[in-house]
Amino acid sequence: MTPSEPIIDVRELTKAFGNNIAVNRLSLRVRPGEIYGFLGPNGSGKTTFIRMLCGLLRPDSGEGTCLGYDLFKEAERIRLQSGYLAQRFSLYEDLSVRENLRFMARIYRLPTVKETVDETMERLGLGRFADQLAGTLSGGWKQRLALAACLLHKPRLLLLDEPTAGVDPKARRDFWDQIYHLTAEGVTALISTHYMDEAERCHRVAYLAYGHLLTSGTAAEVIRGAGLFTWTVTGENVHRLSDELKGRDGVLQVVPFGHTLHVSGRDPDLLAAALSGLDPTRFRCEEGEAGLEDVFISLMQNPGGD
């Protein structure tokens, strides 16, 4: 495997549960050292996809490699070199932090269990909770423990399924710091998330809906590819305008952001015309740039594109 070869390379991967196609012919490449963001509403197939990568689910069809190993034939090897953090906390709540880590270190047959566990606890600041039961940790610390558990065996690929869901902002920031450190060391990370700010921290993102990959690439690529023009409207009671604007020609979507509205459309002239009728003494309109969130929302509302 050469350094430029993709870490994850899957083609047409499909998984169905009965009639429900959870992942539909998904093709994706993740390059070494990348932080790859995986977005999409609940039930869009993110977890299912990640589980297929680490051998927890068997794809119905498609092909692909992970870390250069065949997804279907070499799941064992993929397991040894990747770290999976499940969406739901899946370590033992009735074991202490140290016991959980020691257990995992032994499962991976690490040569120096004690040293590795101590080192990892140190690195993630878990030392002071070493003898506390995992079940009594707060959400943020639980996730940190879960991350520690999948770092023990120094994996080359991290598969993190909503690692920051339900975690406070400070803990989220710390978590991302850790991820940056790791990728600086050459680790690749695939992270599913609901947070837009996190999406913007990723080198690349993919957006999934109903099992389909709707778009992927760097944030700039995704935004450019969407062909979306966005204006921001500010002013007193600006939210009241929302319904009115939605009805106008050239307006595709209106998204409230705090005290402003993001009004987007595909035709810049039509959009400008639609906004020109607003009372300039009460509302201020500025031509802006579409953000990832505007793009994702438009993808959700018009999954087929136009």
Partner 1 sequence: MEWSRVFSFRRFGAIVAKEFVQMRRDRVTFAIMVAIPIVQMVVFGYAINSDPKHLPTAVVSADHSPFSRTLVAAMQNSGYFRVVNAAATETEAAMLLEEGEVQFVLNIPEDFGRRLVRGDRPALLLTADATDPAATSNALGASRLLVEAALARDLSGPLAHLRSSPPPVSLILHPSYNPEGITQYNIVPGLMGVVLTMTLVIITGLAITRERERGTMENLLATPVKPFEVMMGKIIPYILVGYLQMGLIILAGRYLFKVPMIGHLGLLLLVSLLFIAANLGVGLTFSTLARNQLQAVQMAFFFFLPSILLSGFMFPFRGMPVWAQTIGEVLPLTHFLRIVRGILLKGNGLRQILPNLWPIALFLLVALTIGLTRYRRTLD
Ligand X SMILES: Nc1ncnc2c1ncn2[C@@H]1O[C@H](COP(=O)(O)OP(=O)(O)O)[C@@H](O)[C@H]1O
CB atoms within 10 A of CB 51: 21
Q: Please report how close the Cβ of residue 99 comes to partner 1 at its closest, in angstroms.
A: 6
Which residues, including other chains, have CB under 8 Å from residue 213's CB and lie 6 or more apart? 26, 27, 28, 206, 207
- Does 48 interact with ligand X (rule: CB under 6 A)? yes
* 185 in Cβ contact with 156 (< 8 Å): no
Q: Smaller CB distance to ligand X: residue 40 or 140?
A: 40
Out of 73, 109, 170, 240, the only residue in the binding site for partner 1 (CB under 8 A) is 109
CB atoms within 10 A of CB 213: 21
Pattern 1-40, Mg ion, x by CB under 5 A: ----------------------------------------
- Does 73 interact with partner 1 (rule: CB under 8 A)? no
Q: Please report how close the Cβ of residue 45 comes to ligand X at its closest, in angstroms.
A: 4
* HSE-up (13 A, CA, CB side) for residue 265: 20
3-state secondary structure 258-292: CCEEEEEECCHHHHHHHHHCCCCCCEEEEEECCCH
Out of 1, 11, 17, 246, the only residue in the binding site for ligand X (CB under 6 A) is 17
- Does 47 interact with Mg ion (rule: CB under 5 A)? yes
- Does 205 interact with ligand X (rule: CB under 6 A)? no
Binding residues for partner 1, rule: CB under 8 A, are 51, 54-58, 76, 79-80, 84, 86, 88-95, 99, 103-104, 106-109, 133, 149
